[in-house]
Amino acid sequence: METIFISDANLLLKHFEKEIADCKSFRFAVAWASTAGGRGKHWQLIDSNQAKLTQAIVGIQFHQTEPEALFQLHKWNKLNIVYDTAGVFHPKFYLFENESSFSLITGSSNFTAGGFHKNTESNVLIKGNKKESIFSELEGFYRMCKEKSRIPDKMDLVAYQKEYERANLQSGYLSTYFAPEERHELITKAGDSLPDYSWENIFQFTWDEYVHGLKYLSITKYYNATFYRLNEEGWRTDTVYAIDSYKKIILEYKTLSNMPEEERKAFCGTLRISEKYGDSGWLGSMTGAGYFKQMVINEPKILDEFLNLIPIEGSVSEDSLNEYLSGILSIENVGNGIALRLLSAKRPDLFLSINKATGNDLFEMTGLKGLKNSQKKEEFIEAYIELHRRIYRSPWFQFNLPTDGLESKIAKYRVALLDCFFYEG
């Protein structure tokens, strides 16, 4: 019997390809499966070798298995699903057979794009003769997996698809993220000119694309919304430093009521220009909102009643966001722009400020009509929450973030900084 340790996901793919080519038949039992939009090389291998695949046993717990993978396997009459077990169904078991020999790949890799392409994984390839005792043990394990499963019908798959969409788009916590298996190819690379970008694809940007876009916004029609102060690399950076000042204010004083008047005005966007805080208009200038300006000076506790529902750090539930928006928008003369200015200033890591200059572009890009000057509070809140679900699933948001230099600040405020992409000036 031969044993090979596989310490790399890409190397795993090569072994998987060779074992399929050399075998007469194969089958597998896995916790999760995905197609990566049909473009995953792992999926393309079984797609082109359907005749050799005898059966696939796939788990659907935690809604991590992609519905399309189930539909395809069912179409090929190869699918068994594990609906529920006393514990978690968690195998990663790939068995390849010839007349007298077998190969097994087992370890940490699910049948997903991550497991076969990009994750840190460890697996073992075992080759042996079917007369060896281990083969009967492998057969016994596979039978046990099969006994836990059943063949689904089309209605089962449709029901699962609805559950999957609900689970992945309506996470109970806005700061709990689902990493998508599918990733589009780079739209452009660092150093390319800005016109290579297609703005409607921003939710598919990588981190490099996102940062590259911010850097080059100063040469587009978005001129007035960009990083005006130049650093040593030619970046315009006053957006970052402005948002940084808002965050420092809320971290120090905790509530609007505790802030000195100048800090409170800067945080709320009602301070025109000051030597200490510069232009406080980033994330939405409120200097023209007369009633709100007086409230900031004289009645900050009214705003605190709702703003305090949003924690300064950590997770924010959809219920808390809904309660905040419903409450603060019920205050007379407080509209969407004011509510989102305060929200984004307090949590620039999680929330985007939207106003008349950005709402139209966001509506065109997302189709969420509640973002476009909606007068219906419930419609606006629903659209705003849905927008952020999409933001949190974006590769640039889920990136392993830098911890040094200007990019570390950009990373901390990356949701609020989306304003630069949409602002028309």
SS3 for 214-246 is HHHHHHCCCHHHCCCCECCCCCECHHHHHHHHH
What percent of the chain is modeled with pLDDT above 90?
42
Q: Is the pLDDT of residue 54 over 60?
A: yes
pLDDT at residue 299 tops 90: yes
CA pair distance 96, 102, nearest whole angstrom:
6
Least confident of 38-42, 102-106, 170-174, 252-256: 170-174
Mean pLDDT across the stretch 248-255?
A: 94
Q: Cα 67–71–73 angle (5° rounding)?
A: 115
Strand arrangement, sheet containing 25-30: 2-6, 123-129, 101-107, 92-97, 25-30, 53-59, 79-82
Of 165-169, 206-210, 318-322, 417-421, the range with the highest mean pLDDT is: 318-322
**286 pLDDT tier (thresholds 50, 70, 90):** confident
Looking at residue 144, what is its pLDDT? 93
Instruction: Give 3-state DSSP helix, strand, coil % of the chain, rounded to 5.
Output: 50, 10, 40
> What value does the mean pLDDT of the chain take?
81
* Residue 133 dihedral angles phi and psi, to the nearest 5°: -65, -30
Question: How is 245-266 classified by DSSP, letter by letter?
Answer: HHHHHHHHH-STTTS-HHHHHH
| Burial category of 5 from C-beta neighbours within 10 Å (exposed 0-12, middle 13-18, buried 19 and up) | exposed
Rg of the chain over Cα atoms, rounded to whole angstroms, equals 26
Residue range 87-145, pLDDT digits in tens: 788 999 999 999 999 999 999 999 988 888 777 889 999 999 999 999 999 999 999 99
* Per-residue pLDDT at 200 exceeds 60: no
The residues, ordered by sequence, that sit 6+ positions from 252 with a Cβ below 8 Å of its Cβ are none
pLDDT of residue 417: 87
Distances (CA, A) of 203 to 75, 184, 196, 264, 395: 31, 10, 16, 33, 8
Percent of the chain with pLDDT over 70: 80
Per-range mean pLDDT, top range of 20-29, 180-189, 344-353: 20-29
What is residue 117's predicted lDDT score, i.e. its pLDDT? 79
What pLDDT score does 420 carry?
Answer: 76
Q: For the residues 15-23, what does the mean pLDDT come to? A: 97
CB atoms within 10 A of CB 49: 15
Three-class secondary structure of residue 96 per DSSP: strand
**pTM attached to this predicted model:** 0.55
Q: DSSP secondary structure string, 117-162?
A: IIS---EEEEEEETTSHHHHHHHHHHHHHHHT-B---HHHHHHHHH
User: Which of 90, 101, 98 has the alpha carbon at shortest distance from 58?
Assistant: 90
- Is the separation of the CB atoms in 31 and 88 below 8 Å? yes
**Average pLDDT estimate for 213-229:** 48
344 in Cβ contact with 414 (< 8 Å): no
Cα–Cα dist 76/164, whole Å: 22
Q: Label residue 236 by pLDDT band (50, 70, 90).
A: very low
The answer, yes or no, to whether residue 386 has pLDDT greater than 50, is yes
220 band by pLDDT with thresholds 50, 70 and 90:
very low
pLDDT-derived band at 206 (thresholds 50, 70, 90) equals confident
Instruction: State yes or no: pLDDT of 294 exceeds 80.
Output: yes
184 vs 392, which has greater pLDDT?
Answer: 392
